[in-house]
Amino acid sequence: MKDLHILPKLRDSMSFLYVEHRRIDQEALAIAFHDTDGKTLVPCASLNTLFLGPGTNISHAAVKALADNGCLIVWVGEASVRFYAEGMGETRSSQSVLQQARIFSDPTQRLKVVRNLYEMRFPDPLPPNLTLQQIRGKEGIRVREAYAKASRDSGLPWFGRSYQSNNWDAADPINRALSAANSCLYGICHSAIVSAGYSPALGFIHTGKMLSFVYDIADLYKVDVTIPIAFQAVAEGLTNLERRVRHKCRDYFYSQKLLQRILPDIEKVLLVEPESRESPFDSTNPPPTNLWDSVPGGVNWADDDDDDLPI
């Protein structure tokens, strides 16, 4: 595609589409979803993110058509309880990750995001004069009370969070259920983060891991999602515990439309205005063509055809 301006604006596109147990082919300027009832056509240029769940079979031509139109393809587990891989379209903007990196590298802005990540976990606004250490103390109390409430509601004793990644069976059933539920939550948060163009590695509270930002965002929901699900699953029995936890998470994510909530929460955390996420190619301004002009020996390929790129 020679003129990226003919692409539809992000606000006119479908934000995401989740598909499972379908065969997907390319047909003209669209992709076709095939099932026992026939086929459904979706224009490639109108789709921002395609989530491929279990049982999907997509052709090479369909992947190429989606990539050429800037659609992100994400391979996930059922209802996004797992994140497996992603394929990025070449026309997608790096604006989100650049903004995230800019905030991450600014100590003042980064501290604001850290406070946001803590304060958003409370139903009522916190006094503005609280220090970060005081907020962390209140968060510790909130989490302990959540465990105590889940213990009372389920009738199960709680002895504290204990988990060894190299010895799964050493943990008690509740801790195993919590780990399984958290893994599902990480999956859907990971999917949401990459679908919006952010980096899962640039965390603000958590740092040093490839999924640091995933852990930051997932912590917004654990008290309301994974803790009650884990205790409820154990209270119902220990047979196929981890599998039942995954199914409970899947059903909760679907019924509560969690994926649709995560992106606005990320924008709130990072103090991002929704309108600012539009690709620069959506504006009337042309793409930059002089990025490397000031770099000694730099070569700008923005105006050249792909066939002229060096091998």
CA count, 13 A, side-chain hemisphere, 101: 7
Strand partners of residue 43: 30
| CB of 229 closer than 8 Å to CB of 241 | no
* Straight-line distance from the first to the last Cα atom of the chain, in angstroms, rounded to the nearest whole number: 21
| CB of 25 closer than 8 Å to CB of 61 | yes
pLDDT in tens, the chain (311 residues): 333 333 344 444 556 788 898 999 998 878 889 888 888 888 887 788 888 989 999 999 988 888 888 888 888 888 788 888 887 766 567 888 999 999 999 999 999 999 999 999 998 888 889 999 999 999 999 999 999 999 999 999 999 998 777 777 778 999 999 999 999 999 999 999 998 889 999 999 999 999 999 999 999 999 999 999 999 999 999 999 999 999 999 999 999 999 889 989 999 999 887 555 544 334 444 444 444 444 444 444 444 444 444 43
| pLDDT for residue 36 | 84
Bridge pairing between strands 30-35 and 23-27: antiparallel
| CB of 194 closer than 8 Å to CB of 200 | yes
Distance of CA 29 to the CA centre of its chain: 28
| CB of 25 closer than 8 Å to CB of 59 | yes
Within 8 A by CB and 6+ apart from 305, the residues are: none
Q: What are phi and psi of 9, to 5 degrees?
A: -65, 150
Alpha-carbon span 33 to 274, nearest angstrom:
30
Alpha-carbon span 121 to 141, nearest angstrom:
12
A 10 A CB-CB count for 124 gives 5
Long-range contacts of 8-14 (CB under 8 A, 24+ apart): 8/45, 8/46, 9/278, 9/282, 10/48, 10/277, 10/278, 10/279, 10/282, 11/278, 12/46, 13/45, 13/46, 13/47, 13/48, 14/42, 14/46, 14/47, 14/48
| pLDDT for residue 214 | 96
The per-residue b/e assignment along 229-253, b for 16 or more CB within 10 angstroms, e otherwise, is: bbbbbbeeeeeebbebbbbbbbebb
Amino acid in the structure at residue 259: L
Share of the chain above pLDDT 90, in %: 50
